[in-house]
Chains A and B, each alone.
Chain A
Amino acid sequence: MKRLWLVPVLLFVNLAWAVDVEVRFTDDREQPLRDAVVALVPEAGTVSTDEVAQAVMDQRDIRFVPHVIAVRRNTAVSFPNSDNIRHHVYSFSPPKRFELRLYHGTPSEPVVFDQTGQVVIGCNIHDTMLAYIYVVDTDWFGVSGDDGRVELADVPPGNYQLEIYHPRYPEPYRESVTLNAGQPFSQQIQLSPLEPGPRERAADSELERLFRR
């Protein structure tokens, strides 16, 4: 049974127009949780998305850096290869299936993500390389850092869908929230339970193989 606790805390009234939003993530053990994605999708009116934004998913030391990024729809993400070996970056995720065959350096064309959703990025040569790109349809989004916090500044007041994603939290979470002018919005969210990380899982299974002998 997956559960989500939302703990709204109303601190004080700010008379300014814009609203500062802060979401704090913790894991099962109430430790700050990184790589959690927050997106505030306005319920009324759409955000102009024709403009192509830019994002980068670097590959360094046989890893994708960063591990998780969130991008606005229609963002062109480039996959520069900082390693001196080749990588074969691919994704079979429905929002964006693509394949960047063995290459050095930065490929000529960045990949444009025009569908919202989770895109799992892998390397065909290095099974352990794994990255997540969450494509959202809003300008207000962020990824939690090591302190588990996401801060969104100057969000216009109004009604929003608060969307939350995490690679180890399989169900996307959506909630309607209202941002009142002058009232900072702060929320603490515990994601529980979290699935084990794929790398850990891979390690486990190797271990298990040994045990099974």
Chain B
Amino acid sequence: MGRRYRVKSYLVKLLLWMLALVLLLEASSYLTTRVAIRDAVTANARAELARGGEVFSRLMDARAEQLALSVTVLTDDFGFKEAVASNDAPTIRSALINHAARIQADLALVADNQGVLVASTLEAPSEALDGIIARGDATGTRYDTVIINQRPYQFVVSPVRAPVRIGTAGLGFEIEDSLSESLKRLTGLEVAFVATGDAPRYLSGTLDQDERQALLEHLAAGAPEFGEPFINREMMTLRVPIAAAPDSLEAVLQVPLAEVLAPYSALDRQLLWITLGFSLFAALLAWLLAGTVTRPLRTLAAAARRMAAGDYDTPVQIESRDEMGQLAQGFTRMQRAIAEREREITFRAQHDALTGLYNRAQLTPLLEAELADASTGGVLLVDIENFTALNDALSPEMGDQILVAVAQRLKALAGTGERVVRMGSDEFALLLTAADVDDEAALANRLRGLFLAPLAIGELRVNVEVKAGLVHYPADGQAPDALLRRANLALQAADARRCPICRYQSGWDERHARRLMVFREFREALADGQMQLYYQPKISLAPPPIVAAEALVRWIHPREGFINPDDFIGTAESTGQITLLTRWVIDEAVGLLARVPALHLSVNLSAMDLLESDFVDDVRATLARHQVAPERLTLEVTESALMVDPTQSLATLHQLKALGTPLSIDDFGTGFSSLSQLKKMPVSELKIDKSFVLQLDSSDDDQRIVRSTIDLAHTLGLTTTAEGVENAGAEALLRQWGCERVQGFYYARPQPEADFLQWLQDHSGQEK
């Protein structure tokens, strides 16, 4: 079956199958019944024909008996005996004719005891009779069927006794058509007597010319055995042997098949009508049944299509209470369940499980909707201060409760929960109206006011502070991601400035972008030689005079040009890339020390460097490679360098001290280090931050700080270096207070190596 004919409809398929089944059943039952009946009828006909054959044989025998009896009466006639005993052939012949006529024999003859014909009504003696006469000689009366002169005869032979046998009389009775007719009347069969020798020959019978011809042809072609009915040309036929020798003769009994099958054909017609009727009825039933199956199926299919399209509200309309009805109810229930689940899934996909607020992914669509309305407003990014610490101090569960409580309060600020989004662990975004954001101070107050009262977490009262970053739209950006990024920068700024709310200012984003660029390009900048060391000379105010300088890193970006160290050092520190930079700087600086004898250089270390386990070994190896004495390389650390891991950092510092490199505290006075910490650090120098030195000559406060710092350093046995010296007044004060070394624009700016070397040459031997 080709694809074209594939049946799509289940109804049609079911119908076709059922119809095919019904038709197959009906057809097969019809055919088998038909064949069975036909076989039975035919078998019956065969049996009847066989019986007919039997009757025929009996009738033939009975006739022969009758003939034999009449012949015996003849031979017992004394006159006949007398005639035969006379031995006078004409007398005997006349007696024969006379007596044969009495019993209506067609042939008559007398033979002597030797079988020699004495008299005969035949013109010529027939060979056919020799055998029968000879046999009659030995026995009493006999009869046989013989063919004489192409005609069949029943021939009776009887001895003539007077009183001993004096001869044999034989009388023949022709088998005429009239005999066949009477046999036909008695048996109901067509009768034919056929001589079968080399070629079958029809002798007599009831057949017409055509039937004779057909029969002879069939016999000539070779017919089945005697006694076995067979079918020939619409005739059921039975061969009955009559005589074998010298000429074989047989009777062929026939009954027309049409006659045999006549009752059958009526039955056959009835059977056919019944079969057709049943088929029609079954087809109707199949159609109805298929309908009852497929109609609800179609309804269900339609329901399934509706559900696929997202319609979960239309119930499936099948009223029946059977399996289909149950299925329909199941469909309706499933539909409701799917709708419910879909709502839940959608809600979960859009909302934060803990607070029930929108999740981060929903901020963009919300913002997009706002922006599309061309309305103005703002995004407030709120962060809980020290949430991690709170979480650690209490418990994650309580942390969660805090988050829920904070979310509750923030909803009040936004006016509705619909405009609050939970961004991350302790970060929330609020979509605010223009009215909300226009007055920044009022907003800050409202935010602070929200958290004045402590949060009730179980029995605890927890005070929470929040910081917030604010962006306005469309003023601070027209795209959700830009707005969010900028709000984040504002939040960072608020964090850094320790103010509760901070609005984004233009340029932050660019700076942030630059920082990102630094992060991405730092490593290759280091490899490409975009980094350079600048050197700022350190001037000795007190003996011994030392030729010294601080090595400062500069990044000349091929596209961006000069990049401020403040812009990349911080980023490098936060990403850990600073350690690479430090090693590069040390390598460069030590290389210069190797080339310029008597020079001392200071290099800034980062807090990260002190945490590197192989840092000290690396420094030692570098010094060894360049064969530079450790005393010539001063390593500067800030106070805050010890903040991250004081133990490890101190250990590293002690190792460096042991190595022999002088250590210096950089930017002293800006950090929050305690004096006890200062005491632990194995440093030999304090560097006073330039913020105290720049206006030293005009600021009394700065003078007091610097002076006491120098005193403090001296008390602790440390030398001091002042940074940011810009005028002679400052130098004079410092010199007066005993500060050992100074550096600043007053003497020299940080300059490239070549300029620095030139500067050294220009100022060699020149002391102030």
Contacts and interface: CB of A to CB of B under 8 A. Distances in A.
Interface in A92-135: 92, 120-124, 127-130
Contact of B162 (A92, A205, A209, A212): A92
A205 B137 CA distance: 11
Interface string A171-213: 0000000000000000000000000001001101110110011
A120 B164 contact: yes
B54 to A, nearest CB: 14
A206 B61 contact: no
Contacts of B81: 92
A211 B76 CA distance: 22
Given A92-B81, A122-B164, 17 more contacts: A92-B85, A120-B163, A120-B164, A122-B161, A123-B163, A127-B163, A130-B163, A130-B164, A201-B140, A202-B140, A205-B140, A205-B141, A208-B140, A209-B140, A209-B141, A212-B142, A213-B65
A143 B357 CA distance: 161
Contacts of A206: 140
Given A92-B81, A213-B61, A122 B140 contact: no
Contact of A122 (B61, B142, B162): B162
A208 B61 contact: no
B78 interface: yes
Interface in B123-165: 139-142, 159, 161-165
Nearest to A121: B163
Interface in A57-114: 90, 92
Which of B140, B161, B163, B164 is most buried by chain A, counting CB atoms within 10 A of its CB?
Answer: B163
B140 A198 contact: no
Q: Which of B76, B164, B165 has the most CB of A within 10 A?
A: B164
Contact of A208 (B65, B139, B163, B164): B139
Contacts of B628: none
Contacts of A130: 163-164
Given A122-B163, A130-B163, A198-B164, A92 B82 contact: yes
B117 interface: no
Contacts of B165: 198
Contact of A127 (B82, B141, B142, B161): B161
Contacts of A90: 162
B659 interface: no
A205 B166 contact: no
A130 B139 CA distance: 19
Interface in B444-463: none
Query: Which 5 pairs of residues, A with B, have the shortest CB-CB distance?
Result: A205-B140, A122-B163, A92-B85, A92-B162, A130-B163
27 contacts: A90-B162, A92-B81, A92-B82, A92-B85, A92-B166, A120-B162, A120-B163, A120-B164, A121-B163, A124-B78, A127-B163, A128-B163, A130-B163, A130-B164, A198-B161, A198-B164, A198-B165, A201-B140, A202-B140, A204-B139, A204-B140, A205-B139, A206-B140, A208-B140, A209-B141, A213-B61, A213-B65
Contacts of A202: 140
Contacts of A92: 81-82, 85, 162, 166
A127 B81 CA distance: 12
Interface string A22-54: 000000000000000000000000000000000
A130 B166 CA distance: 14
A201 B165 CA distance: 10
Nearest to A202: B140
A27 to B, nearest CB: 19
A135 to B, nearest CB: 17
A55 B76 CA distance: 30
Contacts of B141: 205, 209
A130 B164 CA distance: 8
A126 to B, nearest CB: 9
B690 to A, nearest CB: 162
Residue among A92, A201, A204 with the highest chain B CB neighbour number at 10 A: A92
Contacts of B161: 122, 127, 198
A127 B76 contact: yes
Contacts of B140: 201-202, 204-206, 208-209
B140 to A, nearest CB: 2
Nearest to B143: A212
A121 B163 CA distance: 7
A208 B78 CA distance: 24
Given A92-B81, A92-B85, A124-B78, A198 B163 contact: yes
A201 B162 CA distance: 14
A43 to B, nearest CB: 31
Interface string B743-760: 000000000000000000
Contacts of A209: 140-141
